[in-house]
Amino acid sequence: MGYTVLSYEVVESVAVITMNHPPVNALGIPFLEDFTDVLERLKTEGEVRAVLLTSSCPGVFSAGDDVASLKEIDDELINTLPKAHVLLNELEELPLPTVAGINGHALGGGLELALACDFRFMAQESGRIGLPEVRLGMIPSIGGTQRLPLVVGKTKAVEMMFKGLMITPEEAKEIGLVNDVFAKGELYNKSFDYALRLSRQATGAIARIKKCMITGIREGFEAGLSMEIETFRANIISPDAKEGIDSFLSGRKPEFKGKD
């Protein structure tokens, strides 16, 4: 299947999604259309057990929007926001571990996209990361006001968004916005290897952990506890749970298949 601003390939058990929409990998209609197809594909391709999201644009992961395009905001653009919210929610809910290999600036919508992934890695001296919309008299609009406080805490999120801070990879790691920072030439391989190791885990259990966490965050603590009970009942009889218990008792390394 061909895409306009993305490429998609499966390497071993990892789906590698590469954004390629110079100059800034804008998250406009072409991206939303391509990404909709990609997410549907990920839900049905059984050999995929983890996802890596990255960019082929030099120095840019995604800057969200080309600022020049914001001079004339019309209803068509505003009407894309609900669709963008749905897509990032679907990315966040994807029953697979997801990794963002941030190889350049991740600003505005670019950071909002990365925040919907489970893990975020950056390269040293690769660019800045933040939600600087307030510098244009604007606000984050595809989930940043909700996800950033969950990741870095309210105090730091308020500071970043109110001041429009664009911070370094090292500063991002210090506040927990990214999981780790690698040398520039190592980012892709390190991120891919991380995704590959995750793909060899009990990905059915990972999917259920994600579902419990998201339920608790969106619907409240008691709803999250109820989801734990519901998912545990199904999980404990899964092939991967049987494999995990059997391998532990026999003293061998488990070989998870990612099956429910």
Active site residue 133: yes
Q: Which H or E run contains 51? A: strand 50-55
The residue from 9, 45, 133, 159 that is catalytic is 133
**Of residues 90, 92, 93, 112, which has the active-site annotation?**
112
Task: Reply yes or no on whether 112 is catalytic.
Answer: yes
Backbone φ, ψ for residue 221 (5° rounding):
-60, -50
Per the DSSP assignment, residues forming a β-bridge with 123 are 182
Q: Is the dihedral of CA 22, 25, 26, 27 positive or negative?
A: positive
Strands (E), 78-204: 98-102, 104-107, 119-123, 129-130, 166-167, 180-182
Distance CA(31)–CA(142), nearest Å, equals 14
What 3-state DSSP class applies to 80? Answer: helix
Contacts of 257 (CB under 8 A, 6+ apart): 239, 240, 243
Q: Which residues are marked as active site? A: 112, 133
